[in-house]
A and B are shown apart, each in its own frame.
Chain A
Amino acid sequence: MPDHWSGFSYLVTNLARFIRPDEVTFSGVNSTPPMLACLLAKRAYDFDFVYLNVAGGVQPAPSTIPISSSDPVLSEGSTAIFANEDFYDLCTRGGMDLCFLGAAQVDGRGRTNVSVIGDWHNPKVRLPGGGGGAVMLPTAQRAVTWRTEHSTRTLVETLDFVTAAGGLAGVVTPVAVFVKREERLALQSWHPDASLDEVRQRTGFDFVATGAATTPRPSVDEVAALQALDPDGQFERDAHIALR
């Protein structure tokens, strides 16, 4: 096992750890880390789960791992095409157990902003926009997001715009894992090379850390699965993730 646990591996591995046996789990557009997490879980864990993705895949077995997380290769090996309206309707009627959703800003209540930095009508930065969040975050059984940067500008006290509400079940950054507890995000664990103090300093919202500890290091199977998905480290290099 490597001494240094890279931010990229930490992020993908801890996203995968939200996946539970037999549940319906979904990865979407613009979502390379969750796509890798779902594929990692399929390889590393000794349980089955129903993997759906935005390319219409149902339990797919893609022959290559695409750069774009909506690439049609992600439906290769699928026995059905479960297209966009299908998986959204599944989610709103309560059939999506775990949904991975992107975010630019996250607040302490587990709400997200993917719309804008600054005022919506006078934007400093126009972001991608609504996407799946406003519908999926409040209707999925659990929704989990990730940030490749852990800072007071990404984990904020006040969102510039509330794109989606409903309370994230989890947030993973390169140095920390948060989970939902009593309608707030609480720290579950932190990277072995970081500390509780560091996480507090770099987080813009208040959180409880009762019972939090360092994150368990990746298992041999988790390391091997990520290695198999990213043999030459291209995804890791493209992700540009630093611990700090």
Chain B
Amino acid sequence: MSYPLLSLAIWVPVAAGIIVLATGSDRNAGLARTLALAGAMLGLLVTLPLYFGFNATTADMQLEEIHAWIPNFNIRYHLGVDGISVLFVILNSFITVLVVLAGWVAIKNKVAQYNAAFLIMSGLMNGIFSALDGMLFYVFFEASLIPLYLIIGVWGGPNRVYAAIKFFLYTLLGSLLFLVALIYLFLASGSFSILVWHGLSLDASVQIWLFLAFLMAFAVKVPMFPVHTWLPDAHVEAPTGGSVVLAAIALKLGAYGFLRFSLPIAPDAAHELTWLMIALSLIAVVYIGFVALAQKDMKKLVAYSSISHMGFVTLGFFMLSSLSVEGAIVQMISHGFVSAAMFLCIGVLYDRMHSRQIADYGGVVNTMPKFAALFMLFAMANAGLPATSGFVGEFMVILSAVKFNFWIGFAAASTMIIGAAYTLWMYKRVIFGAIANEHVRALTDISRREFLILALLALCVLGMGLYPQPFTEVMHVSVENLLKHVALPKY
């Protein structure tokens, strides 16, 4: 393939964002929306060849693009994808389309800027997933925060300043140590190439320090316990689209970082610190599950549920078996669909009632039956019901956990009860029952646009649940290669 597909995946949405930005004020809001949708769809279109042209039989990087960028420090514009990252580029571009659609009516203020922020962020995030140069990765990693800050800060809720500052405090601390680690690796290898770093021989103690530095950056992003408290606040303040991107994509950046940096660069440290990572993951699964149960705000509840589900991801990574790592990646993708759908569903309700409080609802099924049916599907997916995508990753991770250690499996499997409890209890209080108040009585069922968005996600959730093989097929070789690499001592 002669086209620089990855560059297109990054720069098409960015360019589209700049064009949308050029439409200026809200007088051209309609044009801005249309252009944004066209840009997002074009962005999705250029990523599709990634999957269909992907060679699943090799663990090598594919579609590589290498150009010198800052030769003095051997920093290169180096892109490429393997079986692990390719799916996230597509997922990200897909979610962007939905986000543009989701904000179609609800966003009336600074429409062009809003859509531009999402498009630019989408491109930058594709950059993160395809960067193979440490500094390039870092630039994308940090730059992608700016649109997210803006989205929360400008279109967010009343407490957005606190949320944004909290977010900033957390990520700043992590990112700085990450940068230090990158510079150390450059000094040790004379290169910023991530692939070169993978082959680097490092002392055990150095690996531990590197691992911890990476951990600071990625754990905040995932987020892992105990650096997770920024997420519920960020979600609550973010507009629907912001929450969707945050949950579906941004949380995956940290998890992806573990696979691209922590495990291959510091494998011995990973082995050494397995107990810590598993313990933190299980706390996320169990403790956060209980916290979710106590939430009165729907968005907070789903935010905590996200943290709990991401606990499965990190748990899967650090059990270091093919089944568990692939299960974790599957869980990441599924969580992209399901959490996006959950936040979109809450957005549908919020757009109508301007409340996220569970107590303000009740009996929504009476006035919004179509919505209730779709929301039920996503709630069940969130609870990990078989035939939905939510089941696949959990199933794989739980099974590998039981093999790893019965009691770890036991703790992980408890999500089957807790996850169902908080999800269905929320669903019951919001959707079921007699009509709770006049506001609920006045609700109108979802529009065609809303139906289209949710139905697309429903197809993804069901499709992946019924036939996950196409998703895991592409990652087998890369995951095997990663695990083989991690299994070898590096010093």
A and B pair up? no
